[in-house]
Chains A and B, each alone.
Chain A
Amino acid sequence: MASYIGLNYWELAAASVFVFIDAGLSVAFGLKVHRSLLVAAVRMVVQLALVGLVLTTLFSVVSPLWTGMAALAMVLFAGHEAAQRQERRLSGWWSYGLGTGCMMMSSVLVTVFALVNVLRPDPWYDPRYAIPLLGMILGNCMTGVGLGLNTLTTSLFSRRASVEAQLMLGATRQVATAPVTREALRSALMPMINSMSVTGVVSLPGMMTGQILGGVPPAEAVKYQILVMFLIAGGTGLGAVTAVLGGVYYLTDGRHRLRLDRLTAPKTT
Chain B
Amino acid sequence: MAVNESDRCASYAGAPILLVRDLRTNILKPASFSLSAGECIAIRGPSGAGKTLLLRAIADLDPSDGLVCLDGRDRASIAGPEWRRLVGYVPAEPGWWADTVGEHFSEWTAALALVRDLGFPDEAKAWPITRLSTGERLRLALIRALMVRPKVLQLDEPTAALDPASVAAVESLIAAQIQAGLAVLWVTHDAEQAKRIAHRLLVVDGGRIREEVLEWPVTSA
A-to-B contact residues, CB < 8 Å = 159-172, 176, 179, 253-259
A170 touching B81, Cβ below 8 Å: yes
**Smallest beta-carbon distance A172→chain B, Å:** 5
CA distance A163 to B84 in the complex (A): 14
**Smallest beta-carbon distance B138→chain A, Å:** 13
B70 contacts the other chain (Cβ, under 8 Å)?
no
Mostly, the B contact residues are loop
Q: With A170-B148, A255-B60, A257-B62 as given contacts, are A165 and B97 in contact (CB-CB < 8 Å)?
A: yes
A259: chain B residues at CB < 8 Å are 63
Extra A-B contacts (9), CB below 8 Å, given A169-B88, A176-B97: A161-B95, A164-B61, A164-B95, A167-B80, A168-B59, A168-B90, A179-B97, A257-B61, A258-B61
A163: chain B residues at CB < 8 Å are 95, 97
Total number of B residues with any Cβ neighbor in A under 8 Å: 24
A169 touching B97, Cβ below 8 Å: no
**Smallest beta-carbon distance B1→chain A, Å:** 28
B-to-A contact residues, CB < 8 Å = 59-63, 79-82, 84-85, 88-91, 93-97, 141, 144-145, 148
Closest to A160 in B: B95
Closest 9 CB pairs of A and B: A161-B95, A165-B95, A170-B85, A256-B80, A255-B80, A162-B95, A162-B97, A170-B81, A170-B84
Contact of B84 among A161, A162, A167, A253 (CB under 8 A): A167
CA distance A255 to B141 in the complex (A): 23
**Smallest beta-carbon distance A47→chain B, Å:** 45
Q: How many A-B residue pairs have CB under 8 A?
A: 67
A169 touching B144, Cβ below 8 Å: yes
B62 touching A168, Cβ below 8 Å: no
**Smallest beta-carbon distance B64→chain A, Å:** 10
- Some 15 contacts from A to B, beta carbons below 8 A apart, are A159-B97, A161-B91, A161-B95, A163-B95, A164-B91, A165-B141, A166-B95, A166-B97, A167-B84, A168-B61, A170-B82, A176-B97, A254-B80, A256-B80, A257-B61
A255: chain B residues at CB < 8 Å are 60, 63, 79-80
Closest to A161 in B: B95
CA distance A162 to B93 in the complex (A): 10
Q: With A170-B81, A255-B80, A256-B81 as given contacts, are A165 and B96 in contact (CB-CB < 8 Å)?
A: yes
A161: chain B residues at CB < 8 Å are 91, 93-96
Closest to A256 in B: B80
B145 touching A168, Cβ below 8 Å: yes
In this complex, the member of B90, B94, B95, B96 whose beta carbon has the largest number of chain A beta carbons within 10 angstroms is: B95
